[in-house]
């Protein structure tokens, strides 16, 4: 082979090599583009989540698929367990989220940092001991992890924990821009939905006793009457009023009175089913909506409540014991006519329970009166 044809062969080989390199780069670029599109769709989906359960289930369901991960868990800092308590009261089923972890302090997360410094993602090999709390159900053969701090205004609110069975998936040398971006979107969405759920909760509950407020009960009553009419089941309503509560306030002070109200709310609640709704209508008056309960069974529940309140005095924080009784009025829904306005049926039901309560007061208090 002369010098000219050797050069031509070299150029050809070089050309083939460059072409295959180019093909590989194009393939990589297409793959990255595809991942980016999937992530953009994911970002849109989580931004559009309407509540906490939806957001969390989208993260757990979608992220492993689009990012080809073998484990995704979420640790949330919940110092006084407020988030957990409120979500629980709003009916979030935590059993459905085994990879949602609540921790009570920043120290429970792996991000050691100098004061004032912003924590950075930690990428590297999986350590079954050191990472046990972050991955309660690790898949077999997990090899590498990315622990991504969730930050809002430089404040750590939790950690997004990603795991892979491939050792090379997350290494210390890797850039962290991508996971940081993912963490920042998830952190914003989490903070927003948690604040919204908290506001929802505050707007529907009574701050003194933690039971529902009048606004919630009024709305729920309309929904329940509509359902009772549709499905032809009974529903009843109960008014509960503390007896001589003015005297309680006069003898133990307003703060002592508040303690009594909280304890009585708890005792009432203990006698109810999960499907029933307890609300405080202001002052010392509570209302219960009893779902799928006719007058007899509602009256039976009323007797149990009366008994539970009267059976033992309320012990205040200062040790003082306050005997308390309640009067209860019970009425049952009688207007099953689907054509008549729901609002009128609701008014009528509340008015009858109130009239029954009035009779209970009139006839001596510490008793239950039901009106058919």
Ligand X SMILES: Nc1nc2c(ncn2[C@@H]2O[C@H](COP(=O)(O)OP(=O)(O)OP(=O)(O)O)[C@@H](O)[C@H]2O)c(=O)[nH]1
30 carries an active-site annotation: no
Pairing of strands 285-291, 235-242: antiparallel
Which of 284, 285, 339, 362 does the annotation list as catalytic? Answer: 284
Per CB under 6 A, 276 contacts ligand X: no
> Among all chains, which residue has been given the structure tokens 């006793």?
209
Q: In a 10 Å sphere around its CB, with 0-12 CB exposed, 13-18 middle and 19+ buried, how is residue 121 labelled?
A: buried
CB nearer to ligand X: pick between 233 and 358: 358
Alpha helices in 205-321, H assignment, sequence order? 214-231, 245-270, 295-311
* Tokens matching residue 330: 């019970």
Orientation angle between helical segments 177-204 and 3-47, nearest 10 degrees: 10
For ligand X, the closer of residues 194 and 326 by Cβ is 326
Q: How far is the CB of 201 from ligand X (least distance, A)?
A: 19
Q: Could you tell me which of 104, 106, 112, 159 has the C-alpha nearest to residue 135?
A: 159
Site for ligand X in 345-364 (CB under 6 A): 361
Q: Any residues with CB less than 8 A from the CB of 348 and at least 6 apart, and which?
A: 334, 335
Nearer to ligand X among residue 4 and residue 364 (C-beta): 364
Which is closer to ligand X, CB of 19 or CB of 247? 247
- Within the chain, where are the H helices? 3-47, 52-66, 82-89, 177-204, 214-231, 245-270, 295-311, 342-362
Query: Closest approach of Cβ 327 to ligand X, in Å?
Result: 7
Comparing CB distances to ligand X, the nearer of 87 and 240 is 240
Give me the 205-224 binding string for ligand X, x by CB under 6 A, dash otherwise: ---x----------------
| 42, 111, 126, 245: residue in contact with ligand X (rule CB under 6 A) | 245
Among 155, 246, 273, 321, binds ligand X (CB under 6 A): 246
Binding residues for ligand X, how many (CB under 6 A)?
16
Which of 283, 294, 306, 304 lies closest to 361, judged by CA?
306
Q: Is 261 in the site for ligand X (CB under 6 A)?
A: yes
Residue among 54, 180, 258, 335 that touches ligand X (CB under 6 A) = 258
- Residue with CB nearest ligand X? 257
Please tell me whether residue 309 binds ligand X under the rule CB under 6 A. no
Active site residues: 284
Return residues touching ligand X (CB under 6 A): 208, 241-246, 249, 254, 257-258, 261, 283-284, 361, 365
């Amino acid at each position: 082979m002369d010098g000219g044809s050797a050069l031509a062969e070299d150029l050809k080989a070089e050309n083939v090599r460059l072409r295959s390199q180019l093909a590989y780069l194009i393939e990589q670029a297409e793959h990255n583009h595809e991942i980016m599109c999937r992530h953009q769709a994911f970002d849109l989906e989580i931004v559009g989540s309407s509540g906490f359960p939806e957001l969390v289930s989208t993260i757990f369901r979608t992220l492993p698929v689009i990012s080809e991960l073998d484990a995704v868990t979420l640790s949330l800092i919940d110092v006084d367990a407020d988030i957990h308590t409120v979500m629980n009261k709003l009916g979030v089923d935590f059993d459905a989220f085994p990879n949602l972890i609540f921790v009570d302090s920043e120290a429970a997360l792996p991000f050691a940092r100098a004061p004032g410094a912003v924590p950075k993602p930690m990428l590297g090999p999986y350590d079954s001991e050191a990472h046990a709390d972050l991955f309660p159900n690790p898949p077999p053969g997990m090899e590498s992890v990315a622990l991504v701090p969730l930050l809002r205004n430089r404040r750590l609110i939790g950690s997004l924990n990603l795991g892979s069975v491939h050792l090379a998936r997350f290494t210390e040398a890797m850039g962290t821009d991508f996971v940081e971006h993912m963490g920042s979107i998830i952190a914003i969405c989490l903070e927003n939905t948690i604040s919204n759920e908290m506001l929802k909760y505050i707007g529907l509950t009574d701050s003194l006793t933690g039971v529902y407020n009048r606004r919630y009960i009024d709305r729920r009553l309309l929904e329940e009457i509509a359902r009772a009419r549709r499905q032809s089941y009974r529903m009843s309503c109960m008014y509960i009023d503390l007896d001589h509560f003015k005297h309680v306030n006069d003898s133990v002070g307003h703060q002592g009175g508040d303690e009594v109200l909280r304890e009585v709310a708890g005792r009432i609640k203990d006698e109810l089913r999960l499907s029933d709704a307890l609300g405080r209508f202001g002052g010392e008056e509570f209302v219960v909506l009893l779902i799928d309960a006719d007058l007899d069974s509602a009256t039976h529940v009323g007797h149990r409540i009366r008994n539970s309140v009267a059976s033992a005095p309320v012990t205040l924080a200062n040790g003082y014991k306050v005997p308390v009784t309640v009067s209860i009025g019970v009425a049952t829904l009688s207007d099953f006519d689907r054509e008549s306005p729901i609002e009128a049926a609701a008014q009528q039901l509340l008015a009858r329970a109130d009239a029954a309560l009035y009779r209970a007061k009139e006839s001596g208090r510490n008793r239950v009166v039901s009106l058919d």
